[in-house]
Amino acid sequence: MSIFRRLVSGRFGSIILPAIILQSVLIGGGYASGREVVAYGAKFGSAGLLAVAGIFVGFTVMSILVFEFSRQFHTYDYKSYMQGIIWKGWPLFDVLFVVMATIVIAVMASAAGNIMEQTVGIPYLVGIVTIILVVAVLTYFGASLIERFKTVGTGFLYLAYLLFGILVLSQVWGNVTAVFAAGNTAYVDDAGALAVMQSGILYVGYNLAIFPAVFFVLHRQETRKESVVSGLLAGVMMTLPFLLTYLCLMGFYPQESVMGAEVPWLPMLRSAAGPAVIAFYGIVIGWTLVETSVGAIHAIIDRIDADLERIDTGRFEEIDGLTRLQSGLLGGGILVAATLLSRVGIIALVAQGYTIMAYFFIALFAVPTLTIGLWRIINPDWKQEFWNRAGSRTASAD
């Protein structure tokens, strides 16, 4: 048994790995460019801390409930999970997830292509085609390689953004403290508590699209304690990068050159670091596109495989799922579609696409999880009825 397999068979696999997977997929749509943090928190200036608090609570509660529901009912692909909370309405989520995954990847493709061209000098199309090939290779080799890639990749990205944050904050910390001391909210007309909290809820809402990417590793959780601890860790890991980016933005608040930039991290880094760091940021952005794309596409492939494995062709015992080649081609195809969509522009995609999708995810995923999902978690007698309704395997008693 390899070192990594021994590692994931223990507490790392049951508690830390689910948090890593969520964080690695979140980065693309959540904070990689900085545009998302401006749109859903930093634009409110000092009042944006309320959005940060709401985001932490939202991610933590949703992670704990999703993990625990999946543990109790063995929902290790998102179709099974959605059947458990919205019954026959699950096809609506299928459509919603594929659309949102494509939009998120498009946002990252728009950012990554332009940034790599500006910082590293790689032509837009060359950079995107290279990333498409990397994603196709990862989806070709499947879950085991993806787990390794995301474990290493998330550590790399966390250290990278920590470096960016330290470099920026060391130059502008005085401005940050001045924004909070003055209660500065000058960039927006309405920075009331209700508006700020609504923005934080919408941020959590559209990022609910990341949860289908984590189901394939949840089979290792065996106790409620593991679900709760892992969910809390996921909430922390997903909120800290948002907080760090938010604080950096406060160092330039309310400058339009930063707050209105398509990729706010670029002007911030240009003011605090040299060309080498800017080039490194270009590489990091390319890496985030790979991480986010792989997570979303793997969730779609798992969903397709789960259905194919239940099909009896009559001549063969069953279909084992997509072949490696089919998985790789599917991943590449989704990325090509997202690349075409990326030409719309990152600001429009974040401001309009993300917000619209947030309402749909809240309605189809968050509300059913917080109501039906929670009720079933605390009422174990519903386990057998769930499996009867879903037409799936029989749940074993806890």
Count of other CB atoms within 10 angstroms of residue 99: 15
40/204 Cα distance (integer angstroms):
10
Question: Which residue reads 């932490």 in tokens?
Answer: 56
**Cis omega (within 30 of 0) on the bond before 91?**
no
Selected residue with higher pLDDT from 336 and 215: 215
The residue-averaged pLDDT of 257-285 equals 86
The residue-averaged pLDDT of 40-49 equals 95
24/16 Cα distance (integer angstroms):
12
Predicted local distance difference test score (pLDDT) of residue 115: 73
Residue pair 84/65 in contact by the 8 Å Cβ criterion: no
Selected residue with higher pLDDT from 390 and 261: 261
Report the candidate in 16, 210, 295, 38 with the shortest Cα–Cα distance to residue 4. Answer: 16
> Does residue 377 carry a pLDDT above 50?
yes
The residue-averaged pLDDT of 5-33 equals 76
Domain boundaries, the chain: 13-380
- Residue 111, classified by CB atoms within 10 Å of its CB into exposed (0-12), middle (13-18) or buried (19+), is buried
> Does residue 27 carry a pLDDT above 60?
yes
> Does residue 258 carry a pLDDT above 60?
yes
**Which amino acid would we find at residue 152?**
V
Lowest mean pLDDT among 24-38, 117-131, 226-240, 296-310: 296-310
The radius of gyration of the chain from alpha carbons, rounded to an integer in Å, stands at 21
Count of other CB atoms within 10 angstroms of residue 360: 19
The residue-averaged pLDDT of 320-330 equals 67
Question: Is 13-380 in CATH node 3.40.1380.20?
Answer: no
Q: Where are the alpha helices (DSSP H) in 212-345?
A: 224-250, 256-259, 265-272, 275-308, 324-341
- Write out pLDDT tens, residues 193-207: 999 999 999 999 988
What are the backbone dihedrals phi and psi of residue 211, each rounded to the nearest 5 degrees, phi first? -65, -35
Predicted local distance difference test score (pLDDT) of residue 6: 59
Selected residue with higher pLDDT from 311 and 78: 78
144/308 Cα distance (integer angstroms):
20
CB-based contacts of 268: which residues, under 8 Å, 6+ apart?
A: 34, 164, 168, 248, 249, 251, 252, 258
Residue pair 322/57 in contact by the 8 Å Cβ criterion: no
Predicted local distance difference test score (pLDDT) of residue 316: 45
